[in-house]
Amino acid sequence: MSIVGKLVGALLGLLLFRNWMGVLIGVTLGHFYDNAVVRLRPPSMGRGFIEPLFAFAGALSKSDGRVSESEIAATEALIARLRLDGDQRRAAIERFTAGKQAGFDAGPAIADLKAWCHGRRDLAFIVLDLLLDLVHAEGAPTQAKLALVRRLCASLGVGEHELAALAAMKGYAHATAGARGQGPRGPSARRPSEVDPYAVLGIGRAASEREIKQAYRRLMSQHHPDKLGDVPDELKRRAEDRAREINAAYERIKGERGLK
């Protein structure tokens, strides 16, 4: 937590106003400065991100009772995509193993991921994007998996419709009441041509032209890759993919409706 702005603000407030009210004003302004610096700082992809991410992944895999081969494969694929070095890989495996233990409390991992995001929605979407392949590793997610993902979404400030839109961008039919044994088994990813463009934008088919444009602009602002700063290529690539998927969905809707 940065306190430089608060300290400088307090000193300037005392020098300018020479009373405690000036100090309070300076601390308040410094607080806003510290928050702005944190938000603009490129995210660190160190242990503070890797450990809670894989601990949560372990809890997510175990939430329905057992960790399957497809969930292990999805976790290995996540390690490969993040291009973790030897130490990072060991830390990821250790935390995944801890997360899949009976009675593991996912609360601290969720809190750490929230702290890593610093209130930035673009970073929250990165976290969820990375986990969605694991959520859908066995096809339609179980109620237990959905409940845990919703806990994370609530902590990160991401709504159900936004999670559904993100799943649609990745080609998954987002389930709200999935359960193992209900619906088709196996991978639920679909080809881009099969993805509902309205689901990608998080709107209904009855949405007005104004609502469509607002949804498009909001999503492009939230998923713009230029906001990420210095992050691994995989994360930038996923942000670029999301931006392309949003653009493609918007163009499809415009074409269907004859919008300009």
**How do the pLDDT tens digits run along the chain, 260 residues long?**
456 555 665 666 666 666 777 667 766 765 554 454 444 454 566 788 999 999 999 999 999 888 999 999 999 999 988 888 889 999 999 999 999 999 999 999 999 999 988 888 888 888 998 999 999 999 888 999 999 999 999 999 998 888 888 888 887 865 443 434 333 334 444 444 467 888 888 888 888 999 999 988 888 887 776 666 656 666 777 778 888 888 888 998 998 888 87
Range of the domain at 118: 47-161
Query: Which domain CATH number covers 111?
Result: 1.10.3680
My answer on whether 132 and 52 are in the same domain is yes
CA nearest neighbour of 127 among 161, 160, 152, 107: 152
Three-state DSSP state, 3:
coil
Using an 8 Å Cβ cutoff, are 133 and 74 in contact?
yes
DSSP secondary structure string for all residues of 123-182? HHHHHHHHHHHHHTTTBSPPHHHHHHHHHHHHHHT--HHHHHHHHHHTTB---SS--TTS
Question: What distance in Å separates the CA atoms of residue 50 and residue 235, rounded to the nearest whole number?
Answer: 13
Provide the domain count of the chain: 3
- 198 part of a folded domain: yes
Given this model, what pLDDT does residue 187 score?
42
My answer on whether 32 and 84 are in the same domain is no
- 145 token code pair: 């998996």
Given this model, what pLDDT does residue 32 score?
52
My answer on whether 72 and 16 are in the same domain is no
- 167 part of a folded domain: no
Give the amino acid at 145: K
- 184 part of a folded domain: no
Given this model, what pLDDT does residue 40 score?
43
My answer on whether 236 and 152 are in the same domain is no
For helices 209-222 and 121-135, angle between their N-to-C axes, nearest 10 degrees: 90
Question: What distance in Å separates the CA atoms of residue 31 and residue 217, rounded to the nearest whole number?
Answer: 30
- 168 part of a folded domain: no
My answer on whether 73 and 141 are in the same domain is yes
My answer on whether 107 and 57 are in the same domain is yes
- 181 part of a folded domain: no
My answer on whether 128 and 95 are in the same domain is yes
- 182 part of a folded domain: no
Cβ neighbour number for residue 160 with a 10 Å cutoff: 15
Question: What distance in Å separates the CA atoms of residue 260 and residue 257, rounded to the nearest whole number?
Answer: 9
My answer on whether 217 and 142 are in the same domain is no
Given this model, what pLDDT does residue 57 score?
97
Cβ neighbour number for residue 215 with a 10 Å cutoff: 22
- 177 part of a folded domain: no
- 214 part of a folded domain: yes
pTM of the shown model: 0.68
